[in-house]
Structure formats: structure tokens, C-alpha cells
Amino acid sequence: MESRLSIAGQAVQPILVMFPLGLFTMAVIFDVGRLLGGPGMLGALAYWNIVAGLASGFLAMLAGAIDLAFVRRPLAKRVGVLRVLVNMGVLVLFAVILMVRVGAQNRAAGVGLLLLELLALAISGFGLWFGGELSRGRTPAFAKAAAGNRGY
């Protein structure tokens, strides 16, 4: 899937995806540090990393949706929609985590929220791999099998 949204010949969406991924990863690292006995400030740092990750994730999702609007092949469009849905699911999970943390002291997360953050990161890792396969022009095998022999 070739990107239509570019600046100086470089696709924007793959670059924008790295910001929320890094911010969400740092939030998990800060939460692990807090749960292992670190200062209370680590919970607040994780909270604000999630806020910034959601803002940058929305921009990345918007860039991906713009790219998807210009895709014409049905199989590529279907796979692109799957990628956008995976990314939206990760953003929804982190938004839920953020809403739960608002009332916590020092905005800290407990073990349950940390496990939910790890699940969201794992899903985002899948989405990152999936987007990478698409950017290299390869359709993952399970997407080809889903298309079957319908001529897509």
C-alpha cells in the first residue's frame, strides 16, 4: 500500500506511528518502575505519556485514514481497514486506561491496569508488524486466505 500523504517524498503515517508507540512504551516502563517501588512521580509521568500518546496516535490514525481513502484495490482496502481498526482499538484501550487513572492518587496504575497496558502494547506491536508488511507491498498470508479465490 503506497502512501499518498507525504512530505518531501516521505510517507507521513509511518513516521507518526512511532510517536505514540514510544510514548505508550515509556508509560509502561514508568508504571513498572512505580510498581517496583519507585517514586510516585513515575505514575504521573506515565499518565502524561499516555495523554501525549493518544494525541499523537490520533494524528497517526488520521494520516492512515487519508492514505486508505486513496486505495483502489479491494483486497488492499480491506487489509488497510483492518490496520486502521487495530490502531483504533489500541487507542481505545489506552483511552480507557487513561480514564481509569484520572481518579487514582498520583495517577498511578495498579497491576490490573499494567496488564491491560501490556495487552494494548502487544496489539500495537501486531499492528506495527502488519503495517510494515503492507508498506513493503506484501499482504500477510491470513489476509490472502481470507480473500480466497474471489479474484481480489
Q: What is the pLDDT of residues 118-151, one digit of tens each?
A: 999 999 888 878 777 766 666 555 555 545 544 4
Q: Is the pLDDT score of 104 beyond 80? A: no
| Percent of the chain clearing pLDDT 70 (strictly above) | 78
- Chain-wide mean pLDDT for the chain? 81
**Alpha carbon 93 to its chain's center:** 10
Q: Is the pLDDT score of 47 beyond 90? A: yes
Q: DSSP labels for 17-77?
A: HHHHHHHHHHHHHHHHHHHTT--THHHHHHHHHHHHHHHHHHHHHHHHHHHHHT--SHHHH
Q: Is the pLDDT score of 45 beyond 80? A: yes
- Which stretch of 37-41, 79-83, 148-152 has the lowest confidence by average pLDDT? 148-152
Question: Is the Cα torsion angle 69, 10, 23, 124 positive or negative in sign?
Answer: positive
Report yes or no: 60 and 87 within 8 Å, Cβ to Cβ. yes
Q: Does pTM top 0.85 for this prediction?
A: no
pLDDT for res 90: 93
Q: What is the pLDDT of residues 50-77, one digit of tens each?
A: 999 999 999 988 888 887 887 787 877 8
Rounded to the nearest 5 degrees, what angle is found at the Cα of 104, between the Cα atoms of 103 and 106? 120
- DSSP SS3 for 10: strand
Q: Tell me the domain boundaries of the chain.
A: 6-146
